[in-house]
Structure 1
Amino acid sequence: MSDQDDEESAGEGWIVSFADLMTLLFAAFVVLYGLKPEGIGDAIKVLTVTASIRETFNETPDTIPEDRRTGPTIQGKAAFEYFKGETLVRPIIKRYRRSENVLNIINKEMMQIKRVIDLKLQDETVLNKRRKKDDSQNQGVSVHKDTNGYVVRLLSSYFYEPGEYRVKQKDLRKLKELGRALKQHGRRISIEGHTDKVPQQGQYSNWELSALRASFIAKYMINELGFAPDRVKASGYADTKPIATNSTPQGRKLNRRVEIRVEYDE
């Protein structure tokens, strides 16, 4: 083959790319023709599809070539000549972030658990005192917001004898009411035992006592209330995660606790 033939073969390579381009353009015009509105109903469908496409692709790239920049150049806020950064009309399709939906579910279920606690778990003396909002953590059972859900906190002084890991017999009814309410929501729960820094005088160390108390509640949830074993886990942290100072009796009382963490899968 001569050099002239090689040059002619190399020069025909653009035909493949040109054919691909024409095929893509043809497909695009066929789709556009299929979206041609015949009436009001079809026009709304076209607008809906258009809004969805714009919403899907309306994302600013991390970096834009300097010769294409016409606006701010901060990462995530750069703009180029074919991108309009402000929406002038209300979008037809409203996108809800999943995190917002989960947050609403958490708030709803958390309030349901709080009502169960107020109506069935709290002592009459607690209910009649009209406690202040900032004093809610001193209650025997309380609910608190968490980063991945919420936490039901059980103070050990209300549920256990000193140095014991079994819940008091008279308080098992409260644990049953709480467990039934949690089971209705079907969430994954993590039960954590905590102590203060004062060494135990009995047969268990702080590590052992915290783990045993969490395990007792976990086994109760599974064996007595029918929780799925793969939806419950227990752990003991001793004094490693205090929520108050260990230098005062009141702080140590708050640190001696069992927490039932209700987790939500994103």
Structure 2
Amino acid sequence: MAKKKKHQHHDEHVDESWLIPYADLLTLLLALFIVLFASSTVDVQKYQAIASSFNNAFVGGTGIMDFENPVPEPAEPQPITDDKPTEEEKEKEEEEEKQKVAEQEELQELQEKINDYIFSNQLNSSLETQLTEDGLLVTLLNDTFFNSGSAEVRSEDVVLAREISQFLVMNPARNIIVSGHTDNVPIRNSQFDSNWHLSVIRSVNFMKILLENKELDPQKFSSKGYGEFQPVASNDTAEGRKQNRRVEILILPNN
């Protein structure tokens, strides 16, 4: 009989070359997840350390991780400043407050003197005083000093205007504003084309008489005209229009 040939059994080797790229892929995926996790935090130092490690591990230097950190770096803490006023500032504020109180007291004393003058001369219907935040306001009704439609101070009232100027002599001298006001009845004649024009000239003419007093400093005086645009009463009645026709002297505090 013929002998059967023995079959030699050879070990079969499976091709495992695919494991290398597969392992690399898993490593890269792992690196990607770690980077995404690190990027979601605001720890800048951790992010930069991870980026540097993976760059060196996978590409040996500069690579996809070599870009500016997308997470903004925290701003440097600013030194806390003390908002409390210094002793010098406190002293300055106290001094200013004292000056303000002293000015108000002096203006109040002046108001009392003018009020005594008004009462003694029975001028309650012609002059009024009011102490305001802006200063001492002396109101002169225009019907006392001016004829209707005229900007000239009546001759019989010039003496009164000069007496008022005596109260404006102060030491130290204060800034004084003379302003003219009218009612809303339109005016148009050969001299004035509007109430505003009339109010300006009335204030200037009255101020001129005040400055006849050589003890007053003209540099401290100014003149304004408001026409009918700053009424103190309704123009719907004769009494209201009378109150609106006025000249005001505002004595300002020095501070």
TM normalised by structure 2 equals 0.58
Counterparts of 2:166 and 2:96 in 1: how far apart (Å)? 35
| 1:182 maps onto 2:182 in alignment | no
Q: CA RMSD in A?
A: 2.6
- Following TM superposition, by how much is the alpha carbon of 1:56 offset from its aligned partner in structure 2, in angstroms? 2.9
Could you say which residue in structure 1 is the equivalent of 2:9?
Answer: none
Counterparts of 2:214 and 2:141 in 1: how far apart (Å)? 21
| 1:208 maps onto 2:197 in alignment | yes
Could you say which residue in structure 1 is the equivalent of 2:217?
Answer: 228
Query: Please, which of 175, 193, 197 is the counterpart of residue 184 of structure 2?
Result: 197
Tell me the amino acid that sits aligned with residue 261 of structure 1. Answer: L
- Following TM superposition, by how much is the alpha carbon of 1:207 offset from its aligned partner in structure 2, in angstroms? 0.9
Cα distance, 1:248–1:182 mapped onto 2, change above 3 Å: same
| Preserved CA contact (<8 Å) 1:244 1:254 | yes
Could you say which residue in structure 2 is the equivalent of 1:115?
Answer: 116
In structure 1, the gaps of 5 or more residues are 1-54, 60-93, 127-138
Counterparts of 2:150 and 2:165 in 1: how far apart (Å)? 21
Identity of aligned residues (%): 27
Aligned to 2:179, the other structure's residue is in SS state strand
Tell me the amino acid that sits aligned with residue 259 of structure 1. Answer: E
- Following TM superposition, by how much is the alpha carbon of 1:220 offset from its aligned partner in structure 2, in angstroms? 1.6
Counterparts of 2:128 and 2:254 in 1: how far apart (Å)? 23
Counterparts of 1:210 and 1:117 in 2: how far apart (Å)? 24
Aligned to 1:230, the other structure's residue is in SS state helix
Number of residue pairs the alignment of both structures matches: 165
TM normalised by structure 1 equals 0.56
Tell me the amino acid that sits aligned with residue 142 of structure 1. Answer: E
Tell me the amino acid that sits aligned with residue 165 of structure 1. Answer: A
Counterparts of 1:193 and 1:58 in 2: how far apart (Å)? 41
| Preserved CA contact (<8 Å) 2:158 2:209 | no
| Preserved CA contact (<8 Å) 2:179 2:224 | yes
In structure 2, the gaps of 5 or more residues are 1-85
- Following TM superposition, by how much is the alpha carbon of 1:201 offset from its aligned partner in structure 2, in angstroms? 4.6
Could you say which residue in structure 1 is the equivalent of 2:136?
Answer: 150
- Following TM superposition, by how much is the alpha carbon of 1:224 offset from its aligned partner in structure 2, in angstroms? 4.6
Could you say which residue in structure 2 is the equivalent of 1:56?
Answer: 87
Query: Please, which of 208, 217, 227 is the counterpart of residue 219 of structure 1?
Result: 208
| Preserved CA contact (<8 Å) 1:190 1:262 | yes
